[in-house]
Chains A and B, each alone.
Chain A
Amino acid sequence: MIRFENVSKIYNSHSAALKDVSFEVNHHEFVSVVGKSGAGKTTLLKLLLAEEKPTGGKIFFNRQNIPTVSQKELPILRRQIGAIFQDFKLLPNKTAYENVAFAMQVVGKSELEIKSDVPKVLDLVGLKDKADNFPRELSGGEKQRVAIARALVHRPSVIVADEPTGNLDPINTWDIIRLLIKINELGTTVILATHDKEIINALEKRVVSLEGGVVARDENPGRYVMS
C-alpha cells in the first residue's frame, strides 16, 4: 500500500536526513517507526504527507508516486492520509466540534454530512461530552483525541502519527495508543513514529528502526533496541 523505494533526503551537503530508505507497509498493518531524535522519523512522515520532496527515490501510495503528485491533486491525496502531530495543530478559536467540522468544510462536504459525521467520530474517540469545548479547555490527551477525530473524519485508509504522545503524561499516552489500536482494528493502517520505548515494547507489532537516516532493523514483532 505504501512503499518507500531508495528514498533519500538531504537538507544540506554535510548531513543527510534519510539515506537509501526502502520498506513497505501493507493494508491494515500497524507499523511503528522508531529512532532517536534526528534519526529521520519526522522527515519520513513529512515526505509521506508531501510536505517536503525527497532528494531521491520514490514513495508510492497505492499506485501514485507522491513526490510527482501535482499541486491540484495533492489535496485529494491528503484526504486519504490522516495526520496527527505532537503539537496537535488544532485551531485555538474553534471548539472541538468545529475543529473536526472544519476539516469537512475544507473539502466541501455538505452541512448535512457534517452534522451526522462529526458527532459519530467524536463519540468514537470518547469526546461526545466535550464537543463544545475550546482546545484551551481540554487536556493534552483530549486535544490529541480531537486531532485524531479530525484525521478520521475523512475515513482515510491510513493514519500517520508523528510523536502523538510526545506532550502527554503516561495515562493519556496509553489512552491515545489504545485509540490508535482500536482504529487499526477497525481496518485503518497506522504508521506511528515515536521514541517511547515502553510503548514499542508493549505493542508487540512491527517496528522499523531508523538510525542516522538509514533503516537499521525491520522486525515483526519488534522491540526498541538502543544502539
Chain B
Amino acid sequence: MSTATVLIMTVTLLAWTSIFLLNVVLTSVLGVLEQKVDISVYFNLDAKEADILTLKSKLDNLEEVKNVEYVSAGEALKIFKKRHSDDEIMLKSIQELSDNPLEASLNVLAKDASKYETVVSFLGQNKFGNIISKINYAENKIVIDRLGNIIGVLRQSGLAAGLILALIAFLVAFNTVRLAIYSSREEITIMKLVGASNRFVRGPFIVEGVLHGLVSSAFSFMVIIPGVAVIGPKLFNFLPEINLVNYLGDNFWSLLLFQTLGGITLGVFSSWFAIRKYLKV
C-alpha cells in the first residue's frame, strides 16, 4: 500500500512540476514571439537622415515603445547584399544601379503587441508623415492581432488547465492516502479503545505522510532531471532563447525545495484529513 501511495504521490508531484516547467517554457516562448513582432517604417529616398533621427528620438520617448532601431539606406544595402551573397544575378543587378535603391527604415518594437495601434496613429498624425513612404503595419496587423489573441487565450487556458490538472492529481493522491488509512481503521479503533490519545494515534501516520512526501519528491526529481536532459537540448535547437537545462541548473535548489514542501504538505494534509473520521470513536 505504501508503494502505491508513494508512486501516486510521485506522479502528482511530477504533474505539478511539469505544469510549472511547461508554464516557464510557454511564457518564454510567448516572450520570444512578442519580441519578433515589430513594425518597420520606411522613408522616402530623399528623406533627410536628421529628420529620421528626430523622429526616432520622438518615438523613443513614447511610453508604448520599447526599442527603436535605425537602419540607414547604406546599412539596408549591406544587409541586402549579405542576404543574397550567393545569388549572382541579384548582386549584379544591384551593381548595375548607380544609386542605392533601398529606403532607410526604423524598426519599432512596442512593449506589447496591443500597443502598435497607438504607435501607428502617432506616426500618421506626426508632421513627419510626409517623409514616410510606407508602414508595414497594415500587412502585419492581422498577424499581430492574432498573436495577441493567442497569447491571451494561451495564458488563460494554460493556467486553467494547469490548475484543474493539479487539482485532479491532488485528489487522486489524497484518495490513495485515504485508502491506506482505511485499511488501518481496525487498528485505529483498537488503539482508541485501549485509551490512546488522538495525538498518539495520528503521530505515526503524520510521520508516514512526511516520509511519503520526501521519497516521492526524490523519485520525481529522478525523473525530471533526465527528462529535462533529453527534452532541453531539443527545445534549445528549436528555440535558442529557451535553455531549459540552464533554467533547471539555476533553479535546482528552489525547485527541489518547493517540490519537497509540496510533497510533505500533500502527505501530511492527506493523512491528517483521512484519519479524522476514524478518530471519532
Contacts and interface: CB of A to CB of B under 8 A. Distances in A.
9 contacts: A49-B193, A75-B195, A78-B195, A83-B194, A90-B190, A91-B187, A91-B190, A107-B195, A154-B195
Contact of B189 (A72, A89, A154): A89
Interface stretch (B57-65, B119-127, B196-204, B223-231): B196-204
Interface of A is mostly: loop
Interface in A134-172: 150-151, 154
A12 interface: no
B191 interface: yes
B196 A106 contact: yes
Categorize the interface residue count of chain B: 10 to 19
Contacts of A198: none
Interface string A173-188: 0000000000000000
B245 to A, nearest CB: 48
B281 interface: yes
A102 interface: yes
A86 B189 CA distance: 15
Contacts of A106: 191, 194-196, 200
A79 B190 contact: no
Interface string A39-80: 000000000010100000000000000000001100110110
A76 B195 contact: yes
Contacts of A90: 190
B195 A79 contact: yes
Interface of B is mostly: helix
B192 to A, nearest CB: 8
Interface string A84-106: 00000111000000000011001
Nearest to B194: A103
Interface string B161-186: 00000000000000000000000001
B49 to A, nearest CB: 85
Nearest to B279: A71
Interface string B242-281: 0000000000000000000000000000000000000001
Contacts of B189: 89
Given A89-B189, A91-B187, A106-B200, A51 B194 contact: no
Interface of B: 186-187, 189-198, 200, 281
Nearest to B196: A106
Nearest to B189: A89
Interface of A: 49, 51, 71-72, 75-76, 78-79, 83, 89-91, 102-103, 106-108, 150-151, 154
B281 A102 contact: no
Contacts of B187: 91
Given A51-B281, A106-B200, A108-B200, A78 B190 contact: no
Lowest 10 A-B CB distances belong to which pairs? A106-B196, A79-B195, A78-B195, A103-B194, A75-B197, A75-B195, A89-B190, A107-B195, A106-B191, A106-B194
Nearest to B201: A106
Contact of B194 (A71, A72, A76, A78): A78
B281 to A, nearest CB: 6
Contacts of A151: 194
Given A51-B281, A91-B187, A78 B193 contact: yes
Contacts of A79: 194-195
B190 A75 contact: no
Contacts of B200: 75, 106-108
Given A51-B193, A76-B195, A83-B194, 5 more contacts: A71-B198, A83-B193, A90-B190, A91-B190, A103-B195
A118 B133 CA distance: 101
Contacts of A76: 195
A102 B204 CA distance: 14
Nearest to B191: A106
A102 B194 contact: yes
B157 to A, nearest CB: 46
Contacts of A154: 194-195
Contacts of B194: 78-79, 83, 102-103, 106-107, 150-151, 154
Contacts of B195: 75-76, 78-79, 103, 106-107, 154
Contact of A107 (B186, B190, B196, B281): B196
Contacts of A49: 193
A89 B193 contact: yes
